[in-house]
Amino acid sequence: MATISANSPALKALGRTLKGSIHLPRDFGYDKLRTPWLDVVDQHPALIVDAACAEDVVAAVDFARTERLSFGVMSTGHGIAAPCDGLLLRFTKMNGVSVDASRRVATVAPGAVSSDLLKETEKHQLVYPAGQVGNVGVTGHALGGGIGWLVRKVGAAANSIVGADVVLADGSLVRADAEKNPDLFWALRGGGGNFGAVVSLEIALTPMADVIGGEIYFPLERAPELLRFYREWSSTLSSDTSTVFRLLAVPPAITSPHEIRGKKVCMIGLCHTEPESRDAVLAPLDALGEPLRTDVKRRSFASLAGLDPASHSSGTPAYSQTEYLDALSDDAIDRLAGLAETMMPPLMQFEVQQLGGALASVSRDRGGAFEPPAAPYLLHLVTPAVKASMTEIASATSDAVTALGDVVTGKKIYNFLRGDEIHRVSDAFSAASFDRLHEIKRRYDPANFFHLNLNVTP
């Protein structure tokens, strides 16, 4: 581990420059600041800079470069791919959000999370394509692609980025948008944190009042029948509706809803953005009979996207794998349902997310490095490491994916790659886009200063 003395003149000079704070290993608050939300990476940086403004970020980048410290960027810690032992940049003081309703654009500071932004956009009946969980960072989610409850209506969050202020590896603060540094702007929309530290992001907003949305739970025994229903029903839906199907073992925790607490269940989740046509979408679901639990109702998009499934409510270590699926074949359905019957650690949750709709068309039309393949579904396998070891979970997850056979496409989605899948980063892009990302990286970060991430090398 790199160390830096509290008496170092360079560190003292940094302290005088910063409006934010410096935290060294034995300081109060250091452990909290070094620990990612998704507690899978144990990092012990030599120092943490909790920035208060863009100038602090410039000072932190200059300091790390001059002192030859590795440099990590952490907003919430939902997606840390590699531990930082040098200078870790945090943004707990930079979490402001402002909405210009007339231009339908939000300006977001790097520490803001999805629910911070949705609370503001809701006041103006505007939305952005947030992820499914309210405490994920807006910037990290959008830079890596960013899909969620509006994926089929609005597309990915990366497609909604209209501009960014970025501190580059040489310490310069630059603007990236359609006019200024358009190549950097292209790379930021899907290429993650590889090109600089983003200190402000501008995101285009979409007008939307209420949605019909929520989750409907049934007993797990109905999985084969309900997955087949889901395949047929979801294929009839327009891009106004985004859906997921989840098979999960609900934790017995008091925080889990009592109707499903400790049970193995299937869940159909939806977000329908045209409340007037709700009956046509919901009637087939009503015909499925009495569920164990439902909370589908007319609500603001913010209340839907701020929902945290029980398994996501705390920062326990978790293991996940995500794969694009070409189809939900009968065979794949039977295998998923069969796997779910034995579901308990080391496997706890399978989710099939419907893609299509606006995702492909918007990504194509608005450019950017995020390029989803034409696959109709995304499969997420997620297991909190509560009772099983990570090794057991990893092996069970890998077996489950192998068992699904050739419906698994082999392409990857950048935001959901684990740290040990860095060698698969190229699978998140077409060959041409990956070449272009390398080329832009060579131009903006030739020494790979920003490498503690899902790395695109120069």
Ligand X SMILES: Cc1cc2nc3c(=O)[nH]c(=O)nc-3n(C[C@H](O)[C@H](O)[C@H](O)COP(=O)(O)OP(=O)(O)OC[C@H]3O[C@@H](n4cnc5c(N)ncnc54)[C@H](O)[C@@H]3O)c2cc1C
Residue 363 CB, nearest approach to ligand X (Å): 13
Residue 95 CB, nearest approach to ligand X (Å): 11
**What is the Cα–Cα distance from 85 to 406, expressed in whole angstroms?**
40
- Other CB atoms within a 10 A radius of the CB of residue 32 amount to 11
**What is the Cα–Cα distance from 182 to 161, expressed in whole angstroms?**
12
Residue 194 CB, nearest approach to ligand X (Å): 7
Q: Please identify, using beta-carbon distances, which residue of 75 and 397 lies nearer to ligand X.
A: 75
374 Cα distance to chain centroid: 20
Q: Please identify, using beta-carbon distances, which residue of 219 and 315 lies nearer to ligand X.
A: 315
The answer to whether residues 449 and 194 touch, using CB atoms and an 8 Å cutoff, is no
The answer to whether residues 210 and 305 touch, using CB atoms and an 8 Å cutoff, is no
Residue 453 CB, nearest approach to ligand X (Å): 3
Query: Could you tell me the sign of the dihedral formed by the alpha carbons of 211, 212, 216, 222, in that order?
Result: negative
Q: Please identify, using beta-carbon distances, which residue of 198 and 381 lies nearer to ligand X.
A: 198
Q: Please identify, using beta-carbon distances, which residue of 76 and 239 lies nearer to ligand X.
A: 76
Residue with tokens 């409340």: 275
Q: Please identify, using beta-carbon distances, which residue of 188 and 337 lies nearer to ligand X.
A: 188
- Other CB atoms within a 10 A radius of the CB of residue 289 amount to 8
SS3 at position 180: coil
Residue 212 CB, nearest approach to ligand X (Å): 19
Residue 137 DSSP one-character state? B
**What is the Cα–Cα distance from 107 to 97, expressed in whole angstroms?**
6
The answer to whether residues 138 and 113 touch, using CB atoms and an 8 Å cutoff, is yes
Residue 6 CB, nearest approach to ligand X (Å): 26
Q: Please identify, using beta-carbon distances, which residue of 36 and 45 lies nearer to ligand X.
A: 36
Residue 231 CB, nearest approach to ligand X (Å): 22
Q: Please identify, using beta-carbon distances, which residue of 41 and 226 lies nearer to ligand X.
A: 41
**What is the Cα–Cα distance from 248 to 228, expressed in whole angstroms?**
17
Residue 329 CB, nearest approach to ligand X (Å): 25
**List of residues contacting ligand X (CB under 6 A):** 36, 38, 73-80, 110, 131-133, 136-137, 139-141, 143-148, 192-193, 197-198, 312, 415-416, 453
Residue 40 DSSP one-character state? T
Q: Please identify, using beta-carbon distances, which residue of 146 and 357 lies nearer to ligand X.
A: 146
Token digits for 293?
């639990």
At 399, phi and psi to the nearest 5? Answer: -60, -40
SS3 at position 305: helix
Q: Please identify, using beta-carbon distances, which residue of 141 and 441 lies nearer to ligand X.
A: 141
Alpha-carbon distances, residue 36 vs 96, 216, 342, 390 (angstroms)? 21, 31, 31, 17
Token digits for 133?
């969980």
